[in-house]
Amino acid sequence: MGLEISLGGFAVGLLIGFTGMGGGFLMTPMLILLFGVHPSVAVGTDLVYASITKFVGAWQHWRQGTVDLRVVKVLAAGSVPGAVAGAAGVQIFHGWFGPGFEGIMSRVLGLAFLVVSAVLLLRAAIPGPGGGSGEMSRPAAWKLVTLGVVGGGIVGLTSVGSGSLFIALLTFLYPVSASRLVGTDIAHAFIVSAVAGLVHFAAGTVDLPLVGWLLVGSLPGIVLGSRLSKRVPDRIVRLGLTVMLVVSGLKLL
């Protein structure tokens, strides 16, 4: 089983490196649909896995100077409590509904995947960010905090969107260069994934050996995918992944 999981992790890592898209909506459905992992455990395990991989990316962007700490702090002010509430909600609802909660969780995940696919399609239809100054006005900061709460809650509940949802929000609200946008998003994604992952770990919904097997395959996959990304049109790969996300979402509903 470990080898199969590592191979699956390699495939997901390859796609992450290829497209720069987060692994939450790729890894979680793989764990549930292919390997039969309970949805709540799949969410917690993916969050811990994501926090480790995103730490590596955030550190690299920090060294390159492409992380806007001010934006990270403003987003985290909303997303951290939102992620804690979402992750705690999984445990509370599990206590209320008992074994039947896993079925409910599958439907929630399916809906989340469909929402993220819609966001990705919308983002693809809108031109990327320009080279704006990135100065935040007060209303923009409040919008980021509010959206951080909502996005963090979704991440804590489903593990989906720590990168894809927030980078879409930043694209709409915060016009900065593409490299700074990505670096800021990854740094924030590390924080929100780590916080939500810790809550899931404390609740016992994280499979650490599974995290290890996933990392064994995904880390070299990310490196290889990054190197191959120049050979295949990014738009084609992203469209294919979005279609796959829609199919996964419909299957989980």
CA distances from 224 to 30, 35, 146, 192, 217 (A): 20, 24, 37, 26, 11
172-188: string of b/e by CB count within 10 Å (b at 16+)? eebbbeeebbbbbbbbb
For 93, residues 6+ apart whose C-beta sits below 8 A from its C-beta are: 101, 104
**Predicted confidence (pLDDT) per residue in 41-88, tens digit:** 999 999 999 888 888 878 888 888 888 888 889 989 999 999 999 888
**For residues 166 and 57, what is the distance between their CA atoms, to the nearest angstrom?**
16
Q: Per-residue pLDDT for the chain (253 aa), expressed as one digit of tens each?
A: 688 999 988 988 887 776 656 567 778 888 988 899 998 899 999 999 988 888 887 888 888 888 888 888 998 999 999 999 988 888 888 788 877 777 887 788 788 778 777 776 776 666 555 555 455 444 467 888 888 898 888 888 877 766 666 776 676 676 666 667 778 888 888 999 999 999 999 989 999 999 999 999 988 888 787 677 667 666 676 676 677 667 777 877 7
- Alpha carbons 119 and 112: distance in angstroms, whole number: 11
Per-residue model confidence as pLDDT tens digits over 200-223: 999 899 999 999 999 999 888 887
Which residue type does 212 have?
G
- CA 14/CA 224 separation, integer angstroms: 6
Region of 76 please: left (phi>0), alpha (psi -120 to 50) or beta: alpha
Report percent pLDDT > 90 for the chain: 21
The answer to whether 54 touches 215, Cβ cutoff 8 Å, is no
